[in-house]
Chains A and B, each alone.
Chain A
Amino acid sequence: MDSETVKAEVIRQVRTEYAMDNAKQLIEKINGHCFERCVPKPGSSLSSGEQTCFTQCMEKYMAGWNQVSATYISRLQREQ
Protein backbone atom coordinates (compact mmCIF):
# COMPACT_ATOMS: atom_id res chain seq x y z
CA MET A 1 0.00 0.00 0.00
CA ASP A 2 1.26 3.46 -0.82
CA SER A 3 1.03 6.52 1.38
CA GLU A 4 -2.11 7.83 -0.31
CA THR A 5 -3.99 4.55 0.21
CA VAL A 6 -2.92 4.25 3.85
CA LYS A 7 -4.03 7.81 4.50
CA ALA A 8 -7.41 7.27 2.86
CA GLU A 9 -7.90 4.04 4.82
CA VAL A 10 -7.07 5.65 8.16
CA ILE A 11 -9.48 8.50 7.44
CA ARG A 12 -12.20 6.08 6.40
CA GLN A 13 -11.80 3.95 9.53
CA VAL A 14 -11.72 6.95 11.84
CA ARG A 15 -14.87 8.41 10.27
CA THR A 16 -16.65 5.07 10.50
CA GLU A 17 -15.74 4.75 14.18
CA TYR A 18 -17.00 8.24 14.95
CA ALA A 19 -20.21 7.66 13.00
CA MET A 20 -20.83 4.39 14.84
CA ASP A 21 -20.16 6.05 18.14
CA ASN A 22 -22.53 8.88 17.29
CA ALA A 23 -25.27 6.44 16.32
CA LYS A 24 -24.71 4.45 19.50
CA GLN A 25 -25.09 7.53 21.66
CA LEU A 26 -28.28 8.53 19.86
CA ILE A 27 -29.80 5.07 20.19
CA GLU A 28 -29.00 4.91 23.90
CA LYS A 29 -30.64 8.26 24.54
CA ILE A 30 -33.72 7.48 22.47
CA ASN A 31 -34.18 4.11 24.16
CA GLY A 32 -33.77 5.67 27.58
CA HIS A 33 -36.15 8.58 27.05
CA CYS A 34 -38.80 6.94 24.95
CA PHE A 35 -38.98 3.73 26.92
CA GLU A 36 -39.58 5.75 30.02
CA ARG A 37 -42.17 7.97 28.35
CA CYS A 38 -44.02 5.40 26.29
CA VAL A 39 -43.88 2.25 28.38
CA PRO A 40 -44.71 3.39 31.91
CA LYS A 41 -46.03 -0.03 32.92
CA PRO A 42 -44.47 -2.80 30.82
CA GLY A 43 -47.06 -5.40 29.89
CA SER A 44 -46.65 -8.87 28.40
CA SER A 45 -46.12 -7.36 24.94
CA LEU A 46 -45.61 -3.96 23.32
CA SER A 47 -49.07 -2.54 22.57
CA SER A 48 -49.76 -0.72 19.30
CA GLY A 49 -50.32 2.45 21.31
CA GLU A 50 -46.89 2.06 22.88
CA GLN A 51 -45.34 1.46 19.48
CA THR A 52 -46.96 4.57 18.00
CA CYS A 53 -45.82 6.59 21.00
CA PHE A 54 -42.30 5.21 20.59
CA THR A 55 -42.12 6.11 16.89
CA GLN A 56 -43.37 9.63 17.59
CA CYS A 57 -41.07 10.02 20.56
CA MET A 58 -38.11 8.97 18.43
CA GLU A 59 -39.00 11.52 15.74
CA LYS A 60 -39.48 14.18 18.38
CA TYR A 61 -36.16 13.40 20.01
CA MET A 62 -34.33 13.67 16.71
CA ALA A 63 -36.10 16.94 15.90
CA GLY A 64 -35.04 18.18 19.33
CA TRP A 65 -31.48 16.99 18.75
CA ASN A 66 -31.32 18.92 15.49
CA GLN A 67 -32.75 22.04 17.10
CA VAL A 68 -30.23 21.95 19.95
CA SER A 69 -27.41 21.18 17.53
CA ALA A 70 -28.24 24.08 15.21
CA THR A 71 -28.57 26.50 18.11
CA TYR A 72 -25.39 25.37 19.83
CA ILE A 73 -23.27 25.38 16.70
CA SER A 74 -24.45 28.80 15.52
CA ARG A 75 -23.63 30.15 18.98
CA LEU A 76 -20.16 28.55 18.82
CA GLN A 77 -19.54 30.18 15.47
CA ARG A 78 -20.80 33.56 16.66
CA GLU A 79 -18.54 33.59 19.71
CA GLN A 80 -15.33 32.33 18.18
Chain B
Amino acid sequence: MRRQTTQHDTVTSPSRQINHPQLPAYLRVPDLKLRLLDHYPATAPEAPATTMDNFSLDNADLDKLNDKDKAELRQVLQNENQKARIQSTVHGLADVCFRKCVTGTIKNGKLDKTEEGCMANCAERFFDISTLTMKQLQNLRQS
Protein backbone atom coordinates (compact mmCIF):
# COMPACT_ATOMS: atom_id res chain seq x y z
CA MET B 1 0.00 0.00 0.00
CA ARG B 2 1.28 3.41 -0.92
CA ARG B 3 1.87 5.70 1.99
CA GLN B 4 -0.56 8.51 2.10
CA THR B 5 1.04 11.88 2.41
CA THR B 6 -0.34 13.67 5.39
CA GLN B 7 0.49 16.96 6.94
CA HIS B 8 2.63 15.46 9.70
CA ASP B 9 5.07 13.97 7.21
CA THR B 10 6.56 17.33 6.47
CA VAL B 11 6.53 18.69 10.00
CA THR B 12 9.47 16.66 11.24
CA SER B 13 12.87 17.38 9.79
CA PRO B 14 15.89 15.12 10.21
CA SER B 15 17.92 17.74 12.04
CA ARG B 16 18.61 16.64 15.60
CA GLN B 17 19.91 19.22 17.94
CA ILE B 18 20.67 17.16 20.99
CA ASN B 19 24.06 18.75 21.47
CA HIS B 20 23.08 22.25 22.28
CA PRO B 21 25.86 24.78 21.59
CA GLN B 22 25.81 25.80 25.23
CA LEU B 23 26.61 22.29 26.44
CA PRO B 24 30.31 21.92 27.19
CA ALA B 25 32.13 19.07 25.47
CA TYR B 26 31.99 16.71 28.43
CA LEU B 27 28.21 16.80 28.43
CA ARG B 28 27.71 16.15 24.75
CA VAL B 29 26.26 12.91 23.59
CA PRO B 30 28.06 11.07 20.79
CA ASP B 31 27.13 11.96 17.23
CA LEU B 32 23.93 10.04 16.45
CA LYS B 33 25.06 9.31 12.91
CA LEU B 34 27.96 7.30 14.22
CA ARG B 35 25.55 4.90 15.81
CA LEU B 36 23.69 3.89 12.68
CA LEU B 37 25.58 0.61 12.53
CA ASP B 38 24.91 -0.35 16.13
CA HIS B 39 23.57 -3.81 16.72
CA TYR B 40 20.00 -2.76 17.12
CA PRO B 41 18.03 -0.68 14.67
CA ALA B 42 18.20 2.93 15.66
CA THR B 43 16.47 4.31 12.62
CA ALA B 44 12.73 4.54 12.49
CA PRO B 45 10.88 4.57 9.21
CA GLU B 46 10.60 8.21 9.99
CA ALA B 47 12.99 9.65 12.53
CA PRO B 48 11.56 12.80 14.03
CA ALA B 49 13.67 15.67 15.24
CA THR B 50 14.55 16.18 18.86
CA THR B 51 15.05 19.78 19.74
CA MET B 52 16.54 21.30 22.81
CA ASP B 53 16.05 24.88 21.80
CA ASN B 54 14.83 25.96 25.19
CA PHE B 55 17.78 24.62 27.10
CA SER B 56 18.80 27.56 29.22
CA LEU B 57 21.50 26.58 31.69
CA ASP B 58 24.49 28.85 31.27
CA ASN B 59 28.05 27.65 31.27
CA ALA B 60 28.83 29.31 34.58
CA ASP B 61 26.47 26.91 36.28
CA LEU B 62 27.86 23.89 34.51
CA ASP B 63 31.39 24.78 35.61
CA LYS B 64 30.33 24.11 39.17
CA LEU B 65 29.96 20.39 38.50
CA ASN B 66 32.53 18.23 40.24
CA ASP B 67 34.05 15.19 38.53
CA LYS B 68 31.75 12.70 40.20
CA ASP B 69 28.63 14.59 39.18
CA LYS B 70 29.99 15.10 35.67
CA ALA B 71 30.44 11.38 35.27
CA GLU B 72 26.99 10.68 36.65
CA LEU B 73 25.45 13.30 34.41
CA ARG B 74 27.18 11.87 31.38
CA GLN B 75 25.68 8.49 32.21
CA VAL B 76 22.21 9.89 32.77
CA LEU B 77 22.33 11.83 29.49
CA GLN B 78 23.48 8.75 27.61
CA ASN B 79 20.60 6.74 29.03
CA GLU B 80 18.06 9.44 28.29
CA ASN B 81 19.40 9.75 24.78
CA GLN B 82 19.13 6.04 24.18
CA LYS B 83 15.63 6.01 25.59
CA ALA B 84 14.66 8.86 23.28
CA ARG B 85 16.06 7.05 20.27
CA ILE B 86 14.11 3.92 21.06
CA GLN B 87 11.02 6.02 21.61
CA SER B 88 11.54 7.69 18.24
CA THR B 89 11.75 4.31 16.58
CA VAL B 90 8.55 3.25 18.32
CA HIS B 91 6.81 6.42 17.09
CA GLY B 92 7.83 5.61 13.54
CA LEU B 93 6.76 1.99 13.98
CA ALA B 94 3.40 2.84 15.50
CA ASP B 95 2.80 5.18 12.56
CA VAL B 96 3.56 2.59 9.89
CA CYS B 97 1.90 -0.31 11.72
CA PHE B 98 -1.28 1.60 12.50
CA ARG B 99 -1.63 2.36 8.80
CA LYS B 100 -1.07 -1.30 7.92
CA CYS B 101 -3.11 -2.92 10.69
CA VAL B 102 -6.02 -0.65 11.48
CA THR B 103 -7.80 -0.52 8.16
CA GLY B 104 -11.46 -1.06 9.08
CA THR B 105 -13.92 1.49 10.40
CA ILE B 106 -13.08 2.67 13.89
CA LYS B 107 -15.91 1.46 16.12
CA ASN B 108 -14.29 1.50 19.54
CA GLY B 109 -11.15 2.59 21.34
CA LYS B 110 -9.66 -0.84 21.86
CA LEU B 111 -7.54 -2.88 19.49
CA ASP B 112 -9.36 -6.04 18.44
CA LYS B 113 -7.50 -9.36 18.50
CA THR B 114 -6.57 -9.21 14.82
CA GLU B 115 -5.29 -5.66 15.04
CA GLU B 116 -3.34 -6.45 18.18
CA GLY B 117 -1.67 -9.47 16.56
CA CYS B 118 -0.96 -7.46 13.44
CA MET B 119 0.69 -4.65 15.43
CA ALA B 120 2.91 -7.15 17.27
CA ASN B 121 3.85 -8.92 14.02
CA CYS B 122 4.50 -5.58 12.39
CA ALA B 123 7.00 -4.62 15.10
CA GLU B 124 8.68 -8.04 14.98
CA ARG B 125 9.00 -8.02 11.19
CA PHE B 126 10.35 -4.47 11.23
CA PHE B 127 13.02 -5.67 13.62
CA ASP B 128 13.83 -8.58 11.25
CA ILE B 129 14.14 -6.17 8.36
CA SER B 130 16.47 -3.84 10.28
CA THR B 131 18.66 -6.76 11.28
CA LEU B 132 18.69 -7.96 7.69
CA THR B 133 19.72 -4.52 6.47
CA MET B 134 22.65 -4.48 8.90
CA LYS B 135 23.72 -7.95 7.76
CA GLN B 136 23.50 -7.08 4.09
CA LEU B 137 25.46 -3.88 4.60
CA GLN B 138 28.14 -5.79 6.47
CA ASN B 139 28.33 -8.33 3.64
CA LEU B 140 28.75 -5.51 1.17
CA ARG B 141 31.57 -4.05 3.20
CA GLN B 142 33.38 -7.37 3.46
CA SER B 143 33.11 -8.36 -0.19
Q: Could you list which residues of chain A lie within 8 angstroms of chain B, going by C-beta atoms? A: 1-4, 6-7, 9-11, 13-15, 17-18, 21-22, 25-26, 28-29, 31-33, 35-38, 53, 55-61, 63-65, 67-69, 71-73, 75-76, 79-80
A10 touches B110 (CB 8 A): no
Q: How far is the CB of B4 from chain A (nearest CB, A)?
A: 7
Distance in Å: Cβ of B130 to nearest Cβ of chain A: 10
What are some 24 contacts across the A-B interface (CB < 8 A)?
A1-B61, A3-B64, A3-B65, A6-B61, A7-B65, A9-B61, A10-B27, A13-B55, A13-B56, A17-B51, A21-B48, A21-B50, A22-B91, A29-B91, A32-B7, A38-B106, A61-B94, A63-B109, A64-B111, A68-B93, A69-B90, A71-B119, A72-B86, A80-B39
B 60-94 binary contact with A (CB < 8 Å = 1; else 0) = 01101110110011001100100110111111011
**Interface size range of chain B in the complex:** 35 or more
Bound-state CA distance A55–B109 (Å) is 7
Q: Which residues from B are CB-within-8-Å of A80? A: 39-40
B contacts, CB < 8 Å to A: 4, 6-9, 11-12, 27, 39-40, 48, 50-52, 54-57, 61-62, 64-66, 68-69, 72-73, 76-77, 80, 83-84, 86-91, 93-95, 97-99, 101-102, 106-111, 115-116, 119-120, 122-124, 126-127, 131
Asked if residues B72 and A37 are in contact (CB atoms below 8 Å), the reply is no
Known: A1-B61, A79-B40. 5 other contacts (CB 8 A): A11-B76, A25-B88, A26-B91, A31-B7, A71-B124
